[in-house]
């Protein structure tokens, strides 16, 4: 079998082709790791190892895709979220570290041994629902999305992490297709304003349905908040990820709710809003 370049040569070549990207070197390393099935330590300690011709061709094709701004996560088909690896395709938004604050806030509000009923609205890859199911072994979840393709990805991730039996997957426009009351409703809804400038790797590859929400980016909140008020049990919680600059408007939208608070991300930007339905 013919050999390709050494690891060192392939990595140098890939990094050069991605030099225009801020994360070019790191991206080249990750793509090479997946192309040959190794970890970063192996790359560093086996720099003279030759790639097979198949590995070399695969790496080259992936570098070309990344040079065209396709996100690394879609190329390798995976993204880590809350310590778990999730399958991702172009049918779903790539899970972000910022969204981990939503999971942390939810886990901090509830008793982990309680048998809770939880809804994840706009589940996408299922990252939030699966992470919560993983952290709340006594709870049952309903993962909702308007996209059947996204639900298929979410279900595959639930299977991957052994929580399928505790998550129901429902095709639904927000909470429209579900009945009954929930203890907790979580959502990372679209919150980008139509026409807002996004990086090419986001704008050209991630699903627009999961990004844009009307002229001010608040269209989904306007619909979800009153639906959640109806769907929550008395004393139940609504947690939502929010965009930059949306805090004050969300505070107004949640007037009448109890214990409204905001959680900041690592940059000090309000990222999660928590609100409780009155117990009365």
In this structure, what CATH number is given to the domain that contains residue 268?
3.40.50.150
Q: Is the pLDDT of residue 72 over 50?
A: yes
What does DSSP assign to residue 184?
Answer: E
User: Which pLDDT belongs to residue 195?
Assistant: 87
User: Which pLDDT belongs to residue 4?
Assistant: 75
User: Which pLDDT belongs to residue 114?
Assistant: 83
74 domain-assigned: no
* pTM, two decimal places: 0.93
Q: How confident is the model at residue 3 (pLDDT cuts 50, 70, 90)?
A: low
User: Which pLDDT belongs to residue 1?
Assistant: 31
User: Which pLDDT belongs to residue 229?
Assistant: 97
Q: By the 8 A CB rule, do 196 and 245 touch?
A: no
- Distance in angstroms (rounded) separating the CA atoms of residues 256 and 67: 49
Q: Kindly state whether residues 174 and 45 are assigned to the same domain.
A: no
Query: Residue 165 has which token pair?
Result: 């039996």
For 41, 49, 95, the CA distances from 7, given in Å and listed in that order, are 12, 6, 30
User: Which distant-in-sequence residues (6+ apart) come within 8 Å of 177 by Cβ?
Assistant: 144, 170, 171
Query: Residue 46 has which token pair?
Result: 């086996």
Could you tell me the CATH number of the domain that includes residue 24? 1.10.8.10
180 domain-assigned: yes
Q: Kindly state whether residues 252 and 212 are assigned to the same domain.
A: yes
Mean pLDDT of 99-112: 92
Alpha helix stretches (DSSP H) within 18-172: 24-36, 40-45, 53-67, 72-76, 100-109, 127-135, 148-160
123 domain-assigned: yes
- Render pLDDT for 156-200 as a digit per residue (tens, 0 to 9): 999 999 999 999 999 999 999 998 899 999 999 999 999 899 999
Q: What is the CA radius of gyration of the chain?
A: 21
User: Which pLDDT belongs to residue 194?
Assistant: 95
Domain range for 165 = 79-276
For 12, 30, 72, 76, 135, the CA distances from 24, given in Å and listed in that order, are 11, 10, 10, 15, 34
Alpha helix stretches (DSSP H) within the chain: 7-17, 24-36, 40-45, 53-67, 72-76, 100-109, 127-135, 148-160, 200-203, 219-231, 247-253
Q: Kindly state whether residues 133 and 269 are assigned to the same domain.
A: yes
190 domain-assigned: yes
Q: Kindly state whether residues 110 and 218 are assigned to the same domain.
A: yes
Q: Kindly state whether residues 129 and 267 are assigned to the same domain.
A: yes
- Count of domains for the chain: 2
Q: Kindly state whether residues 107 and 243 are assigned to the same domain.
A: yes
- Distance in angstroms (rounded) separating the CA atoms of residues 42 and 198: 35
């Amino acid at each position: 079998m013919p050999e390709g370049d050494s690891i060192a040569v392939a990595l140098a070549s890939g990094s050069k082709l991605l030099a225009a990207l801020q994360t070019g070197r790191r991206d080249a390393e990750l793509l090479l790791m997946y192309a040959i099935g190794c970890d970063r330590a192996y790359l560093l300690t086996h720099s003279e190892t030759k790639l097979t011709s198949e590995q070399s061709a695969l790496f080259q094709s992936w570098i070309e895709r990344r040079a065209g701004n396709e996100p690394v996560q879609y190329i390798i088909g995976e993204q880590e979220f809350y310590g778990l690896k999730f399958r991702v395709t172009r049918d779903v938004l790539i899970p972000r570290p910022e969204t981990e604050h939503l999971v942390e806030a939810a886990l901090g509000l509830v008793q982990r041994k309680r048998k809770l009923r939880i809804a994840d609205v706009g589940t996408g890859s299922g990252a939030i629902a699966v992470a919560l199911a993983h952290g709340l072994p006594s709870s049952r979840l309903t993962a909702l999305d308007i996209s059947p393709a996204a639900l298929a990805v979410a279900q595959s991730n639930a299977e991957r992490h052994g929580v399928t039996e505790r998550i129901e997957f429902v095709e639904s426009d927000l909470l429209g297709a579900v009945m009954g009351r929930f203890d907790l409703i979580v959502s990372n809804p679209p919150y980008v304003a139509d026409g807002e400038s996004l990086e090419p790797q986001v704008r050209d590859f991630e699903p627009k349905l999961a990004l844009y929400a009307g002229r001010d980016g608040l269209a989904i909140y306007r619909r979800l908040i009153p639906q959640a008020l109806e769907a929550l049990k008395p004393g139940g919680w609504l947690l939502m990820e929010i965009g930059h600059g949306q805090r004050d408007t969300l505070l107004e939208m949640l007037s009448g709710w109890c214990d409204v608070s905001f959680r900041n991300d690592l940059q000090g930007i309000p990222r999660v809003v928590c609100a409780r339905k009155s117990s009365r």
